[in-house]
Structure 1
């Protein structure tokens, strides 16, 4: 069995020890490292082989939420924190789960299982690569979608909504995982929660993109990149 490499990021040594102990009870997990701040974590993630991140929120200088925003292609994220109030923000950033300290081993295992399901759904075995098509598997169904049929993708908590000209598909995949398989020649990210089909853009007005009658917000951090891609 190929193990999932995970990284523990928490400024409290005792918390790191507890999470490491929990990880050691799950044979499919391999602890690649444990660090006390976001900057150490960035160094340890440069190899690109970390698949799962256990991430605290309140840490010195760069907190967990801010750190996650700096990762271009984040792995699966499970937040481990003493603060409940950041859950909505965490899920907006496509976190896999949000564990509030102190959490039980049972709750930890549930979170890891959820991360493993996402990793499985995002694996090449579950998605067939075809020229001009995307193939997704979800809930026992396989969808074969032409690029020109896909209007936009939207982050939705632990899932991603894929809206096509014919239907709406809810994928058990993180928004980041979906972004990785959408070819840049057809699709562009315009907001932290939205990716749109460039060929479907009918109007841009202020901070809004129109896909015919569908309105999509433009994130302030994405507007310049969008305009560059469109040659504006």
Structure 2
């Protein structure tokens, strides 16, 4: 069973999702929320596997809520607005459903969730091996690359893919940044922006909100700045 939390400030939208979920036995709606703050409380109390979440909500949007979660569940955004799609996929959303969406489109989105959950189950032993070693196994088109942590300068989210910049080349992984992040040791790598993770040992300077990594620069996001400065020793 996939435990679902529905988050939408519109009662009608919540009810439609409840009815759709009833049609798929694999889904179990464990709670409904009308705003992001209530959703945060539910996630602290319940085991949530999937967020079915609106974006445009009062005070805190669905995208902003997701940014505040350290270990977020999988998420399908349900919204009437097209313009947030890039931000949603940068945060590794499973899917982005534009209201009104059909049951057929909903089923396709849930199938993607199931694939991701199955992938996590099958790669769990590999994750343990990677975490304990000194290298990362990076999947690109048609190939699995072995990269020593020391080779990696930074990683950048690119929709559902990830650009990995090394000392000598750029690789495009078919996995999202959030998935790769789980394989990286916290003592060596640090997320400095919603779309960037850097190798701390490659940092050569800091200028304003730009992190300098030799000949490269990456942005330092406001939500990550305070924690980064503590790690950086400033």
Within 1, Cα distance between the matches of 2:86 and 2:99? Answer: 17
Work out the number of aligned pairs and report it.
229
Whether the 8 Å CA contact 1:191–1:219 is kept in 2: the answer is yes
Which residue number in structure 2 is paired with residue 27 of structure 1? 25
Residues 1:113 and 1:133: Cα distance change in structure 2 (over 3 Å): same
SS at match of 2:82: coil
- Contact map agreement 2:155 2:165 (CA 8 A) in 1: yes
**Residue correspondence of structure 1 range 73-92 to structure 2 within 5 A:** 73-92=71-90
Any gaps of 5 or more consecutive residues in structure 1?
none
Change (3 A) 1:4 1:145: farther
1:182 corresponds, among 184, 188, 199, to: 184
Give the match for residue 229 of structure 1.
231
Residue 70 (structure 1) aligns with: 68
Q: Aligned partners of 2:112 and 2:194: how far apart in 1?
A: 22
Q: Bigger shift: 83-92 or 33-42?
A: 83-92
**1:211–1:122 distance in 2 versus 1, CA, 3 Å:** farther
Moved more, 25-34 or 10-19: 25-34
Query: In 2, are the aligned partners of 1:9 and 1:41 still within 8 Å (CA)?
Result: yes
What's the TM-score, normalizing by structure 2? 0.85
> What is the TM-score of this pair, normalised by structure 1?
0.86
Shift of residue 9, structure 1, vs aligned partner: 0.8
CA contact (8 A) 1:73 1:176 kept: no
**Is 1:158 matched with 2:160?**
yes
The correspondence of residues 69-148 of structure 1 with structure 2, limited to 5 A, is 69-123=67-121, 124-125=124-125, 127=127, 128-129=129-130, 130-137=132-139, 141-148=143-150
User: CA 1:179 to 1:22, structure 2 compared with 1: closer, same or farther past 3 Å?
Assistant: same
Which residue number corresponds to residue 17 of structure 1?
A: 15
Gaps of 5+ in 2: none
What is the alpha-carbon root mean square deviation over aligned residues?
2.4
